[in-house]
Structure 1
Amino acid sequence: MKWQWRHIAALLCLLLFPGVLVFWGVEAPPRENSLPANAVPGEEGGYPADSQQSPRDTLTPGPYPYIINEVNKCPEGKPAPFLVLLILTEADQVKTRNAIRQTWGNEGLAPGLGVIRLFLLGVKEGELGRLQQKTLESESLSHHDIVQQDFLDTFNNLTIKTLMGMNWVAMHCPRASYVMKTDSDVLVNTDYLIHKLLRPELKPKTNYITGYIIRGGRPIRAKGRTKYHMPRKEYPNKRYPGYCSGMGYVFSGDMAAKVYRASLSIPLLRFEDVYVGVCLDRLRIKPTPPPIKGLFNLRAVPYSDVKYNNMVAIHRVSPRQFLQYWPRMQSYKLSVASMPRVEQ
């Protein structure tokens, strides 16, 4: 059959149809800035194609430049800190950061061991975001405990924020014995964490991570019901590997570089705790259960001197409660220490 002009015209329409749509202004719906805008499963680490990141250069900050950094927080000439606290927060949470500085995040809580506190942030858009940024930069000059990169600070970008913290430890504090990543609504019993869970008198562990461990978790496929929806195209497996809840987990200092390096060949996921679990699975490292059940508590716990002094992390605690509960915890601890011991 001979090709007629109408056949050629029809073929040209089919070939040019996508271009015609763009020409007419019909585009795909805009995406929320969750992970890099052009990150897709299968790309190297899910980072933008024009990123300078590569597996051979694993200890660079990644595709997002630092806006605020604390490169001298962990100087080489001084003893390595025993614990680095990485606290995920947002620009407007000034009261929360101040409450943490006065309570469980006080860097003087473990004299002779060294505790470093860092608040991790992205940026906010709009005029309000610019005003918050000025306040944040002033706060940074006063306290020197803020690390910020130029990515949008959203729920879906918590993975980027966590990787920023991992990379900071790997680049600027690689000799730290332990690191705790936690959220700003968690009360950390720093004394219990250091002296009863990690125990500085012992040789620091390696390949170690612990927290509230979730095993056999299934991705939520139903759309629109929850922010924890996981599209099949983003994560096709039926179950997540074992992972520690993002409310607070503790890991040995060597893990920061290992997890960050693993992330370079694993497409990003929107849930940072699941993503760290995927990286651990790639590394063939399994989370270690806490020695006592209930040390890391996902749910809000009514205050009790005994309970709070025998947990590592309590979720859903407000800044006001930090300031209220912390002195009571210290008073109870002193009263117990002063009680006479009963000889057996």
Structure 2
Amino acid sequence: MGTRKQWDIFCQVIDNHGDLGVCWRLASQLAALGERVRLWIDDATALHWMAPAGCDGVQVIDWLDPAAVTEAVAGPAPDVLIEAFGCEPAPELIARFAEASNACGPRPWINLEYLSAEPYVERLHGLPSPVFKGAGAGLTKRFFYPGFTPATGGLLREPGLLERQARFDRAQWLAAQQIPWREGERLVSLFCYEPSALADLWTQLADGQEPTRLLVTAGRATQAVKAHLASENAGNRAAHGHGALSISYLPYLTQPDFDHLLWACDLNFVRGEDSLVRALWAGAPLVWQIYPQDDDAHHAKLNAWLDWLGAPPSLRRFHHVWNGFDASPLPPLETQGPWRRTAESARETLRAQDDLVAQLRHLIAQKS
């Protein structure tokens, strides 16, 4: 891959830490391959629990700090510039990058896009996007679309991920987290926004024949569960479960421990982009709550992913109700049968494809 490169990744925290989660995984994987990475972020607060130990080779910079921008402008320009999810780096930094590109030859400028299974992703992945105005006028960005097929940029997957999962000891991890799990109890993780069908899920699990422990993640999922309990006037009486349902509320987890949570569970409810990818690698049945958009563009996005997944009718309908597309009661959830076979098949399909970092480095090597 040539000499060691300096990568600048720009990330703006829009909502719920997902953008930062993706960018931190990308930065860490590049650093593990020997690259030097500066992660420019406007709010790094979540890294305090997401990655408290940091990462050798990754420098986190507050892009709202004028002194940091001034120092970077005075120093060497990055070899690769990545704009994550349409954010706009400071014009001074773009100007410094443009100066180096014009003096020593074009340097890769990547526009890292959001994840989607929609058909346009394959059409647009890798295409150039000339810059006509601003500090970068005259340069060319290149679209990089993560995706689920070989014609896209793939998904983030660090080396050895599935091998580490194969060695994972569920009982040991649950004990370390002080989760009172007992053998035979079904484990379900809940990482969500505020789904209208949450009450249906609660009733289904509480009234079911199978004992279930719901592992509720910190933040909006915990708030949604407690708001549901308050609306039902359940209060402390049901805060930790009812009937066949037991509940454990989790603290904020590091990225490795979030993976461990997904590996430990028989079914994972996830939201956004980063957790969807990690749930796919976990290989257990999953339900995705997609980020809602005002123009309902997320409907087409979710259905395109369900099409790619080959979701059986019961899983497709569950997704539609969970995401508020359908006001019907939630259909029965499954942790075995078609839902599990679908998840395992998706993981094997993705495993056969090159990961995102390998494809990104290959694209840059071709265009350098």
With structure 2 as the length reference, what TM-score do the two structures score? 0.29
- Bigger RCO of structures 1 and 2 (CA < 8 A, at least 6 apart): 1
Give the structure with the larger helix fraction: 2
With structure 1 as the length reference, what TM-score do the two structures score? 0.30
